[in-house]
Structure 1
Amino acid sequence: MKFSVITPCFNSSETLGRAYASLLNLTSGEFEWILVDDCSTDEGKTRSLMKNIAASAPFPVKLIFLDKNHFGSRSTYEACLIASGDFACILDHDDQLTRDALVVVSRYLKEFDEENIAGVAGRCVNQLGVLIGKRSREDFFIGKEGDLRFKRRMTFETFQFTKLEILKKYFSELRPGYTNGFAWAKISLNYKFVFVSDVLRVYDMTLPTSYSNTKRLHVIYPDAKAEALQNTLEYYNGYLFWNPIYSLRIAASSIRHRLNSRKNIFMDLPGKLASRFFYFLGIPLAYFKYLMDKRSS
């Protein structure tokens, strides 16, 4: 069983080394590493580091250099087009795989080799080894993303190893402004994952580039982000009442991003103030929409 590790890069010269080191430390497993530079603006530093890694790595490394920034999601799709693995994971440029990640995932995939299972999703820890999110009472369970997020109310990040053809198909639909959560939600319409309690990914929450530190920053494509969140809610339609608070959070975020894209009357407001204003305005609006949808159904 072969894996494709996909890493989108953007100004990654100071962080990519830790991802590389974690791959060097893997205990076992056949894999390739696909590095995609999303048109970095660091005077060629990321590009140079990627080439150096490809020249020295003891495992296959494939490089892609995009001539235009596509905001991340396109990088994964482009990597899928040249990937040769059976399963793929998306390892961010400042992430690390745990030493036995490929061994653990291979074991589950061999045990649950079924057509309707898209892959394996494991847990994450921070730079101190602290588990992200609450502990599961089970070693694993098989279900859809909606079962995890809504029925079990486990809304923390997971780390997926997904069948390459499924990843390619669903990431082909992402456009700038869409995030990976949209793809996982749509995949859940037709496929299940084996959700495991094993830790597969480490990320450093102290880094400025960490998702945990950037998710509230200015979104480059707010209209697309709002659209993606709205569609995500539709894909989870059968689950929304299992976790209304989480559902409202998604709805409020969608409304906030939609409002953020209407710059005509808020041009002179500082970005942070406007973002907070839209967020708090979005909560009651989302709740109102929730009540109206419930009434109409």
Structure 2
Amino acid sequence: MFISIITPAYNRAETLHRCYESLKEQSFKSFEWIIVDDGSTDETAQTVSAWQSECDMDIIYIQKPNGGKPSAVNHGVKIANGEMCAIVDSDDSLCNDGLKTLTDTWQTLAPDVRDTYWCVCALVEDSVTRQIVGDLFPSDNITITGGEFQFKYKIEGDKFGLMRTALLKSNPYPEAEDYKFVPESYIWNRLGREYKYVCINKVVLTYYMPTGFGIGNLSGKANRIRNAKGLIMCEVDVVNKDLHRWFFNAPIFFFKRAAQLSRYAIHSASLMRQYKNLESIWGKIIVLASFPIGFTLYLGDRLWFKYYYAPIKAKLVRETIS
């Protein structure tokens, strides 16, 4: 089996070495590393060029205008040659047997049933505490659907997966000029409705939490506010496709997602349009019922942005200039 490792990178020359060093130490060697430079202005190009010269690892380096992580992932997937692929962030590192563990698990599936699966999913550890991030799976080597993952077993926390490249090629992340972030769960949810996961209780990746103020943190509040249009798609998708089947398994979950839908729809000035995109009367009712919470979250965001984020960012800019 040949694997494509895809790493989106934006001004990550100082952290990308973690990924590089971990890939060099992999016990499984049949892979290519595709680095998609999403408009970096730091030393990323020079750093990668040095690695290409000093090691025999197959490193493919692509430069593109800044378009956000989903756009970078899509670029990497388009040129990926592997049967399977994995998205490794530019500040994280794989455990030495990470790829082997995932590959061995995939190959335990009978060839005639592999088309019904899309992902081998494993655990992630925190770089500081060395503790598992989020929940364990109910059992090792369990086969579950995306709905069971979220609503039956209510598994939370970051996970890491080896995914079928062909399915990612045919299901790219949505891209637009007015947002640069779409949660990874958007694709995981969509594919998880049609295909199964095989999940293992083994740590395969070390996750490094962003430090400092977090201006560059894709999942941070500031970037989520700026990219509200990308987040809304995920919320609308869940309410439309999962509510009718799973509401009574996780009612609080759906009220939270409905509130988030209102929150980000107000940020993007598209509340009525998003409401019209809801496909069922029950979805509309839940969004209306949770609207006061969503509006409160929106007001909290505005206050946070004005009185906390903006002053600190202005201070950091002044310090950089001076």
**TM-score, length basis structure 1:** 0.82
- Which amino acid in structure 2 is aligned with residue 188 of structure 1? G
- Which amino acid in structure 1 is aligned with residue 6 of structure 2? I
Which of the numbers 98, 101, 106 marks the counterpart of 2:103? 106
Following TM superposition, by how much is the alpha carbon of 1:20 offset from its aligned partner in structure 2, in angstroms? 0.7
Point out the more displaced range, 226-235 or 153-162: 226-235
| Residue number in structure 1 paired with 2:166 | 165
Residues in 2 aligned to 1:12 and 1:124: alpha-carbon distance in whole angstroms: 21
Following TM superposition, by how much is the alpha carbon of 1:120 offset from its aligned partner in structure 2, in angstroms? 0.2
Which of the numbers 239, 247, 254 marks the counterpart of 1:240? 247
Residues in 2 aligned to 1:215 and 1:233: alpha-carbon distance in whole angstroms: 23
- State the SS of the aligned residue for 2:19: helix
| Residue number in structure 1 paired with 2:285 | none
- Which amino acid in structure 2 is aligned with residue 215 of structure 1? G
Q: Contact conserved, 1:207 with 1:213, CA < 8 A, in 2?
A: no
Which of the numbers 173, 179, 183 marks the counterpart of 1:179? 183
- Which amino acid in structure 2 is aligned with residue 228 of structure 1? C
| Residue number in structure 2 paired with 1:16 | 16
Following TM superposition, by how much is the alpha carbon of 1:217 offset from its aligned partner in structure 2, in angstroms? 2.7
- Which amino acid in structure 1 is aligned with residue 26 of structure 2? L
Following TM superposition, by how much is the alpha carbon of 1:48 offset from its aligned partner in structure 2, in angstroms? 1.9
Give per-residue Cα distances to partners, 1:232-254, cap 9 Å, x unaligned. 33232322331222222222222
Which of the numbers 198, 203, 206 marks the counterpart of 2:207? 203
Residues in 1 aligned to 2:222 and 2:137: alpha-carbon distance in whole angstroms: 30
Give per-residue Cα distances to partners, 1:98-137, cap 9 Å, x unaligned. 1111111111111114211112011111013100113334
Q: Contact conserved, 1:123 with 1:199, CA < 8 A, in 2?
A: yes
Q: Which has the higher helix share?
A: 2
| Residue number in structure 1 paired with 2:267 | 260
Residues in 2 aligned to 1:125 and 1:205: alpha-carbon distance in whole angstroms: 11
Point out the more displaced range, 26-35 or 202-211: 202-211
- Which amino acid in structure 2 is aligned with residue 231 of structure 1? D
- Which amino acid in structure 2 is aligned with residue 11 of structure 1? N
- State the SS of the aligned residue for 2:104: helix
- Which amino acid in structure 2 is aligned with residue 218 of structure 1? N
- Which amino acid in structure 2 is aligned with residue 246 of structure 1? F
Residues in 2 aligned to 1:156 and 1:242: alpha-carbon distance in whole angstroms: 19
Q: Is 1:86 aligned to 2:91, yes or no?
A: no
- Name the CA shift for 1:229/1:47 in 2 (closer, same or farther; >3 Å): farther
Which of the numbers 270, 273, 278 marks the counterpart of 2:303? 273
**TM-score, length basis structure 2:** 0.76
| Residue number in structure 1 paired with 2:54 | 56
- Which amino acid in structure 1 is aligned with residue 71 of structure 2? R
| Residue number in structure 2 paired with 1:227 | 233
Which of 1 and 2 has greater Rg?
A: 2
Give per-residue Cα distances to partners, 1:3-23, cap 9 Å, x unaligned. 111000011011101111111
| Residue number in structure 2 paired with 1:279 | none
Q: Contact conserved, 1:203 with 1:210, CA < 8 A, in 2?
A: no
Q: Is 1:30 aligned to 2:30, yes or no?
A: yes
- Name the CA shift for 1:215/1:63 in 2 (closer, same or farther; >3 Å): same
Residues in 1 aligned to 2:117 and 2:187: alpha-carbon distance in whole angstroms: 15
- State the SS of the aligned residue for 2:40: coil
Unaligned runs of 5+ in 2: 271-298, 307-322
Alignment of structure 1 residues 72-151 onto 2, 5 Å: 72-112=69-109, 113=111, 114-127=114-127, 128-151=129-152
Which of the numbers 175, 191, 196 marks the counterpart of 1:192? 196
Unaligned runs of 5+ in 1: 264-268, 277-297
| Residue number in structure 2 paired with 1:2 | 2
- State the SS of the aligned residue for 2:211: coil
Task: State the superposition RMSD in angstroms.
Answer: 2.5
Give per-residue Cα distances to partners, 1:129-165, cap 9 Å, x unaligned. 1001133341121112221111101121111111111
- Name the CA shift for 1:137/1:178 in 2 (closer, same or farther; >3 Å): closer
| Residue number in structure 1 paired with 2:281 | none
